[in-house]
């Protein structure tokens, strides 16, 4: 059995209100066998050890101290205990400095202090000792009386965290267990083991195939854009987060997963069994040869740590041929690191605002591009679709608001928030929405997306070919101006 202290520490390092969960586990692990009572006497064969108010206050104080570490990112100045927070620098927020972007803080007037979401300070709490004791009492009674299998500690931890985060009403503030987090990190590195498809979660919460990747297992199995995945190996995906659903669909190379598919025009759901493979996703796709009319085309699939460098290299190759115009394809690009989105936008923009970032704690920051990059003058079209999200929308929004290029395609996803990623001590991750971002014209796209200047639908099954109507429309605009 996992020791009481390690479980408590595991829970409380993520969020202020999780100290209540710590007490549930405190109660769970305080049950010790005793020969003084038997089930035949109408009692459990285990009774709780004494949990005093002093012990509750002690746990609460430690939780509060660790909450401050999570909120501020600053370790306590003095402590005899290891907090065990496992916090790393938040890669969706900061990261190392990247050539080509210049975040600055303008002379904003002093912001009016906003409401503090977690008003916990040392020695203070939103919960009384009586409320915490109630939580202990509830779990003790479950332990003693529940006619069924009690979840193990890890299952309980995961369930408590998920339920606590769900109260925030924010689909992007999520907890990933260690296995899911590892798969997510692999995908950001450009490869993963799975079925090979771009996916999203629609407004109704369904897990939708945006586009199978040509030549990969999903496409070879006959999955189509718009297919809804209801279940994976019999486990329902309805009500799960996008990350939870992806973790069930992905899996080790050469293993099979059976998906239950709901398809428009087909009366009943049906099953498709797919053998997973290692999927390698190139960050940048382009042909060294220009398209018809001497138009350059480059596709960026993700804003991972190599996005700026690889895109810059591709642009150098393409622009050396003196093309008449350039098409930047951000379709089905789900986003990535904030600093990479600023750096990529700067490749196309002269000096000026790329985005504003604000939160309720008074953060007001502006990120700017600077003049002198290689693609600031060439006529530009950006392609987007419903799979273009987050960092893709930052780039498209800045180019649109600054009048630097034309956006063609479909309305983008609409993710206008920024997450900080905390890697925890066991390899799991907590992703917390810490700010909202706004376009140079001070507009939020959260829930609305980037509306194209020229709408062209639908997205094709394969990008870049002669049947890609959105690409053809972009070529037409660059050649004719219409």
- pLDDT tens for 413-460 read 999 998 888 999 888 899 999 999 999 999 998 888 999 999 998 766
51-78: average pLDDT: 43
Give residue 126's pLDDT.
Answer: 65
Predicted confidence (pLDDT) at residue 409 exceeds the cutoff of 70: yes
Predicted confidence (pLDDT) at residue 215 exceeds the cutoff of 50: yes
Q: Are 69 and 13 in contact (CB under 8 A)?
A: yes
Give residue 186's pLDDT.
Answer: 74
Predicted confidence (pLDDT) at residue 208 exceeds the cutoff of 60: yes
What is the residue-wise DSSP string for 245-308?
HHHHH--STT-EEEEEEE-TT-SS-EEEEEE-EEEE--SEEE-SS-BTTTEEEEEE--BSTTHH
Over residues 367-404, the pLDDT tens digits come to 999 999 999 999 999 999 988 999 999 999 999 999 99
Catalytic residue numbers, as ranges: 390, 401, 415
Predicted confidence (pLDDT) at residue 110 exceeds the cutoff of 60: no
Structure tokens at 375: 């693609």
Give residue 146's pLDDT.
Answer: 93
Q: Are 464 and 428 in contact (CB under 8 A)?
A: no
Predicted confidence (pLDDT) at residue 243 exceeds the cutoff of 70: yes
- What torsion, rounded to 10 degrees, do the Cα atoms 119, 10, 133, 80 define? -80
Predicted confidence (pLDDT) at residue 262 exceeds the cutoff of 50: yes
Residue reference for tokens 């009586």? 130
Residue reference for tokens 């392609």? 383
Predicted confidence (pLDDT) at residue 54 exceeds the cutoff of 60: no
Give residue 463's pLDDT.
Answer: 81
Which residue intervals of the chain bear CATH 2.30.42.10?
191-280
Give residue 459's pLDDT.
Answer: 67
pLDDT confidence tier of residue 15, bands split at 50, 70 and 90: very low
Tell me which of 140 and 10 has the higher pLDDT.
Answer: 140
**C-alpha to C-alpha distance for 209 and 198, rounded to whole angstroms:** 6
Q: What's the helix, strand, coil split of the chain in %, to 5?
A: 30, 25, 45
Predicted confidence (pLDDT) at residue 257 exceeds the cutoff of 60: yes
Q: Which CATH architecture fits 284-480?
A: Alpha-Beta Complex (3.90)
Over residues 305-360, the pLDDT tens digits come to 889 999 999 999 999 999 999 999 999 898 988 899 999 999 999 999 999 999 88
% residues pLDDT > 70 (the chain): 73
Tell me which of 266 and 63 has the higher pLDDT.
Answer: 266
Q: Are 10 and 425 in contact (CB under 8 A)?
A: yes
202-211: average pLDDT: 86
**Superfamily covering domain 191-280:** PDZ domain (2.30.42.10)
Candidate from 65-74, 275-284, 426-435, 461-470 with smallest mean pLDDT? 65-74
Which residue intervals of the chain bear CATH 3.90.226.10?
284-480
Over residues 27-39, the pLDDT tens digits come to 444 443 333 333 3
Give residue 179's pLDDT.
Answer: 81
The helix (H) or strand (E) run that includes residue 173 is: none
Q: What rounded mean pLDDT belongs to the chain?
A: 77
With 0-12 / 13-18 / 19 or more C-beta atoms within 10 angstroms meaning exposed / middle / buried, residue 375 is buried
């Amino acid at each position: 059995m996992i020791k009481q202290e390690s479980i408590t520490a595991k829970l409380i390092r993520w969020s202020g209100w999780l100290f209540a969960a710590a007490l549930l586990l405190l109660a769970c692990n305080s049950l010790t066998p005793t020969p003084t009572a038997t089930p035949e006497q109408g009692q459990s064969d285990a009774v709780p050890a004494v949990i005093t108010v002093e012990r509750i206050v002690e746990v609460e104080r430690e939780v509060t101290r660790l909450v401050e570490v999570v909120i501020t990112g600053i370790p306590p100045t003095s402590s005899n205990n290891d907090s065990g927070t496992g916090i790393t620098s938040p890669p969706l927020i900061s990261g190392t400095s990247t050539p080509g972007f210049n975040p600055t803080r303008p002379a904003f007037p002093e912001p009016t202090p906003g409401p503090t979401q977690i008003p916990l300070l040392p020695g203070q709490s939103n919960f009384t000792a009586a409320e915490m004791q109630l939580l202990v009492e509830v779990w003790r009674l479950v332990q003693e009386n529940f006619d069924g299998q009690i979840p193990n500690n890890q299952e309980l931890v995961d369930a408590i965290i998920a339920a606590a985060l769900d109260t925030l009403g924010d689909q992007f503030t999520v907890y990933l267990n260690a296995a899911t987090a590892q798969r997510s990190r692999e995908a950001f590195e450009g490869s993963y083991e799975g079925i090979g498809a771009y996916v999203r979660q629609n407004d109704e919460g369904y897990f939708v195939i945006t586009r199978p990747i040509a030549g990969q297992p999903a496409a070879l199995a006959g999955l189509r854009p718009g297919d809804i995945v209801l279940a994976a190996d019999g486990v329902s995906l309805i009500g799960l987060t996008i990350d939870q659903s992806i973790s069930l669909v992905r899996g080790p190379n050469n293993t099979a997963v059976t998906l239950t598919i709901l398809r428009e025009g087909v009366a009943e759901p049906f099953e498709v069994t797919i053998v997973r493979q290692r999927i390698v996703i190139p960050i940048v796709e382009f042909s060294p040869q220009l398209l018809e009319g001497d138009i350059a085309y480059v596709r960026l699939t993700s804003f991972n740590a190599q996005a700026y460098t690889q895109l810059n290299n591709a642009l150098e190759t393409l622009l050396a041929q003196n093309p008449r115009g350039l098409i930047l394809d951000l379709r089905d690009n789900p986003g990535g690191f904030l600093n990479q989105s600023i750096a990529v936008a700067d490749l196309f923009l002269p000096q000026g605002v790329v985005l504003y970032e604000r939160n309720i704690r008074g953060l007001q920051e502006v990120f700017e591009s600077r003049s002198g990059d290689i693609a600031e003058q060439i006529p530009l079209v950006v392609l987007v679709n419903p799979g273009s999200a987050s960092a893709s929308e930052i780039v498209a929004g800045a180019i649109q608001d600054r009048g630097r290029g034309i956006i063609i395609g479909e309305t983008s996803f609409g993710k206008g928030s920024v997450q900080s990623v905390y890697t925890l001590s066991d390899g799991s991750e907590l992703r917390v929405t810490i700010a909202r971002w706004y376009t140079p014209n001070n507009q939020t796209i959260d829930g609305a997306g980037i509306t194209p200047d020229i709408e062209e639908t639908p997205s094709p099954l394969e990008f870049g070919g002669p049947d890609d109507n959105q690409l053809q429309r972009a070529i037409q605009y660059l050649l004719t101006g219409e």
